Chain A
């Protein structure tokens, strides 16, 4: 088990394994998303309160969950890289940030589109989850800006790992402070949704699993590119590129 783990941390080995693994995540992920999209859009009945508008949760919830998940991956990969000095780990953190930012933006955009007919406004400053998510997006921006501002890759890796770790402590504080703040601004429509019907829940679960698989595949692909770039001066990359098969 440990041996396998150590092997995985070596860039050439990871590069080979991930090539095999990536489609095994992408294909089931896409199938699940396609099936759940059809279910969610055409099969699941309309919500008696929200009408058809509720259907956006099939994109919104998985995106919101992955926005946090990507941050956790980014910060823990950074911490592992700082503590055990595993180079691959920093590549994971670097690859996770833009995907995480994209999912955060998707969660915000879908939430805002849902909010227009439901709350009558594109943006509700009083909603704690929207505020936390927006601050999360800013954290991603700061992280990526710091990374791109430092030319030396090793330095950028470590500095951004420290920032991600400071950020993770702060995400919790942001959440509670925003919660306390918005409890002062009462009066907005808050939907107290009852337990979800099983017909509605099943496509949502499928969507969450499908999104996660697709995220895994995207992450692997980005890490592969990142590894290839970082190892561009090593022998295994040169040999692979110059071999008749090329960089598979």
Chain B
């Protein structure tokens, strides 16, 4: 009994091992990380081209545009969350592992956020500059994006788990996740535009923080359940 117990790593080690593996995979395939970032930058470029280069208008719509672009870029990267694991069979290994599945899912989502969410947060000030956003507002924007992308990664993992292995996965994933993700965008984008108008913006930040905490506690269980269902 003690023999076999010693062979199984602890819960925390399982989480870190899963995260480390995904980070290593991302390091070996930098395109997967960079593509959503380029997409993020391009969507931000599309808006001025579509609505016109008027400085005033861009200052007004900047927070919203950046948030929409971040939401879409995250969606783009979510499809790959379980796909390669599903294709090469390592997802089955996760499912039969002695570690609790929600913890391993949390590890995967952590790696996803570090490679897809966090880079968006760091790139966003550069794009915000082109929209003429004041530096103080940029801080608020980075904070809302940090909290928001955590929730988006977790919420998206549920959708990715539900659609893994389906032929029409990508379009379906967006259809499932976008309505659920709208509150995150509403809270984030409006907190930034309130900050831009020197208004009280803390309500949105607190709500986003609460959303992130709630998703960390609940979403891994839903994702684990969805993964088990998809791989029956």
Q: Name A residues whose Cβ lies closer than 8 Å to a Cβ of B.
A: 135, 138-139, 141-142, 145-146, 149-150, 154-155, 158-159, 162-163, 165-167, 169-170, 173-174, 176-178, 180-181, 184
Q: Is the CB of B229 within 8 A of A159?
A: yes
Stretch in B6-14, B19-27, B69-77, B168-176 touching the partner: B168-176
Q: Judge whether A142 and B179 touch: CB under 8 Å.
A: yes
B211 touching A138 by the CB < 8 A rule?
Answer: no
Asked if B178 contacts A162 (CB within 8 A), the reply is no
A166 touching B229, Cβ below 8 Å: no
CA distance A71 to B158 in the complex (A): 20
Q: Does B118 contact A (CB under 8 A)?
A: no
Q: Which residues of A contact B230 (CB under 8 A)?
A: 155, 159
- A169 CB to nearest B CB, Å: 8
Q: Are B190 and A181 in contact (CB under 8 A)?
A: yes
Shortest B165–chain A CB gap in Å is: 9
Main secondary structure of the interface of B (DSSP, over half): helix
Residues of A within 8 A of B182 (CB): 135, 174, 177
User: Is B232 engaged at the interface, CB distance under 8 Å to the other chain?
Assistant: yes
Contact call B178/A177, Cβ cutoff below 8 A = no
Known: A155-B229, A159-B226, A162-B229. A177 touches B163 (CB 8 A): no
With the chains together, A180 CA to B183 CA distance in Å? 10
User: B183 near A173 (CB under 8 angstroms)?
Assistant: yes
Asked if B49 lies at the interface with its beta carbon under 8 angstroms from chain A, I say: no
B186/A178 in contact, CB under 8 A: yes
Are the C-beta atoms of A162 and B225 separated by less than 8 Å? yes
Once the chains bind, are A142 and B186 in contact (CB under 8 Å)? no
Which 5 interchain pairs have the tightest Cβ spacing? A177-B183, A138-B179, A158-B229, A142-B176, A177-B186
The answer to the question of B80 belonging to the interface, with a C-beta cut-off of 8 Å to chain A, is no
Residue in contact with B232 in the complex, picked from A138, A149, A155, CB distance below 8 Å? A155
> In the complex, what distance in Å separates the CA atom of A141 from the CA atom of B155?
18
Which chain B residues lie closer than 8 Å to A178 at the CB level?
183, 186
Query: Dominant SS at the A interface?
Result: helix
Alpha-carbon distance between A162 and B219 when the two chains are bound, in angstroms: 11
Q: Name the B residues within 8 Å of A177 (CB-CB).
A: 182-183, 186-187, 207
Residues in B neighbouring A149, C-beta threshold 8 A: 163, 166-168, 172
B132 contacts across to A, CB distance below 8 A? none
With A155-B230, A177-B187, A180-B207 already in contact, the answer to whether A163 and B179 are too (CB < 8 A) is: no
A139-B179 contact, Cβ under 8 Å, with A159-B229, A177-B207, A178-B186: yes
| Residues in A neighbouring B187, C-beta threshold 8 A | 177, 180
Q: Which residue of B lies closest to A135 (CB)?
A: B179
The reply to whether A146 and B162 contact each other, CB–CB distance below 8 Å, is: yes
When chains A and B are docked, how far (Å) is the Cα of A145 from the Cα of B183?
21
Judge whether B162 and A162 touch: CB under 8 Å: yes
Contact of B175 among A135, A141, A174, A181 (CB under 8 A): A141
| A167 nearest in chain B by CB position | B180
Which chain A positions have C-beta within 8 A of B137?
none
- Write out the residue numbers on chain A whose beta carbons fall within 8 Å of the beta carbon of B158: 162-163, 166
* CA A173 to CA B183, docked complex, whole Å: 7
CB neighbours (8 Å) of A180 from chain B are 186-187, 190, 203-204, 207
Question: Can you list 30 A-B contacts with CB-CB less than 8 angstroms, sorted by A residue number?
Answer: A135-B182, A138-B175, A141-B175, A145-B172, A145-B175, A146-B162, A146-B163, A146-B172, A149-B168, A150-B166, A154-B232, A162-B158, A162-B222, A163-B176, A166-B155, A166-B180, A169-B218, A170-B183, A173-B183, A173-B211, A177-B182, A177-B186, A177-B207, A178-B186, A180-B186, A180-B187, A180-B190, A180-B203, A180-B204, A181-B190
